[in-house]
Amino acid sequence: MAEKIDLPDVVVWDGNFAAANALRQAQIDVVAAYPITPSTPIVEGYGKFLADGYIDGEFIMVESEHAAMSGCIGAAAAGGRVATATSSQGFALMVEVLYQASGMRLPIVLTVVNRALAAPLNVRGDHGDMYLGRDSGWIQMDAYNAEEAYDLTLCAFKIGENKSVRLPVMVHQDGFITSHTAQNVHPLSDDVAYEFIGKYETVNEMLDFSKPVTYGAQTEEDWHYEHKAKQHKAIIDSRPVIDEVFAEYKKLTGREYKRVESYLMEDADVAIVALGTTVETARIVAEKMRTEHGIKAGVVSPRVIRPFPFDNVRDALKGVKSLACFDRSSPGGALGMLYNEVAGALYTADEKPVMTNYIYGLGGRDLTMDVIEEVYKELADNAKSGKRSGKIQQFLSLRGPKMEYFE
């Protein structure tokens, strides 16, 4: 029987340790993992909890991230509650197997500490790996701070294991800015956290030899289409389950989560749409724009990236005249993912705002409040003129506060 930890009402954890404690409280059966900066402390923390007797589970050390997810798939197929963590190149190596996990409808939880993809090699945070996994069939949620990394990891188990969902779930947090920054976290007690998630219930054990079945078999044009369509429908249908889990968590903790978070958007003329730690910084600047510059600024942030909340994004941006989508990833000769998806959401809106795509923060480059303030001022000018002036995409802060324009 695993021992419990008597946690105080407030602790000081970084995002990695917050996620590790969520895995501990979920009483994971198996973690299969391979270390990579900056996510290593999550599985390292789990291993320490296991060694100290706080978990009745298994820690499998493997030779790669590909093997880590393969081990998770095997353990989940055998009927276990399973999780792991990774970042960047490790995530890229894992991608092949992510499709196996989602296609087999295994509710694995993966904490992704977002970091830039090489080359050149970089261990700092951006969202290149987050974007890489967006079409892999996993539910994806994004934490903006350490407490949210803890909360959303607990919610991820309850969402993915729901009998009507049965899908794997990723929880993202920004490398170093969240993962290694110590902040106040208000944890649940071990008993309350486990009761919220619930005892793991298997739908069917794929590796039950008394009831032989076949999974992952080859299907060509005869059945592949049907399998993927049902998988897609399951992701879309997870939306009310996500809402229900968030509502239950709010009742338990007082902390409210929505698939799309809006801040100062009731009367906003201009808005920034962003993910990760940038959201909290943008909120502070939005307040400043209102009090010091008379600009009605707001912030919209998709909490759930998959299934993408198109309707909620469109409703959150209703009435906005000009907006900026912040993409923290090299777009590879295209507009950023967030820009494209927000544009798709707004395509059916009665009134379409002027939109600009800002690429920023690559490889951990800081995004300062001064730069965000300049963006809001430019958005206010766009709102007045109603013209893009050809500046559809801009790279922010290549060196210092200046902006580079790519038409």
**What is the fold of 260-406?**
Rossmann fold (3.40.50)
Find the radius of gyration of the CA atoms of the chain: 21
Q: What is the pLDDT of residue 392?
A: 86
Q: Which residues contact 197 (CB under 8 A, 6 or more apart)?
A: 25, 26, 154, 157, 158, 161
Q: Which residues contact 67 (CB under 8 A, 6 or more apart)?
A: 32, 34
Residue 112 DSSP code: E
- What is the crossing angle of helices 278-293 and 369-385, to 10°? 60
Q: What is the pLDDT of residue 401?
A: 46
What stretch(es) of the chain map to CATH 3.40.50.920?
260-406
Q: Measured over all CA atoms, what is the biggest interatomic distance in the chain, rounded to whole angstroms?
A: 70
> Average pLDDT per run of 10 along the chain, which is 407 residues long?
90 98 97 98 97 95 97 93 98 98 96 97 97 97 98 98 96 98 98 97 74 81 92 97 98 98 98 98 98 98 98 97 96 94 95 94 95 96 77 74 50
Residue 325 DSSP code: E
How far, rounded to the nearest angstrom, does the alpha carbon of residue 110 sit from its chain's CA centroid? 10
**Three-class SS of residue 302?**
strand
Q: What is the pLDDT of residue 99?
A: 97
Q: Which residues contact 220 (CB under 8 A, 6 or more apart)?
A: none
**What is the fold of 11-253?**
Rossmann fold (3.40.50)
Q: Which amino acid is at 35?
A: P
Q: Token digits for 59?
A: 């820690």
What stretch(es) of the chain map to CATH 3.40.50.970?
11-253
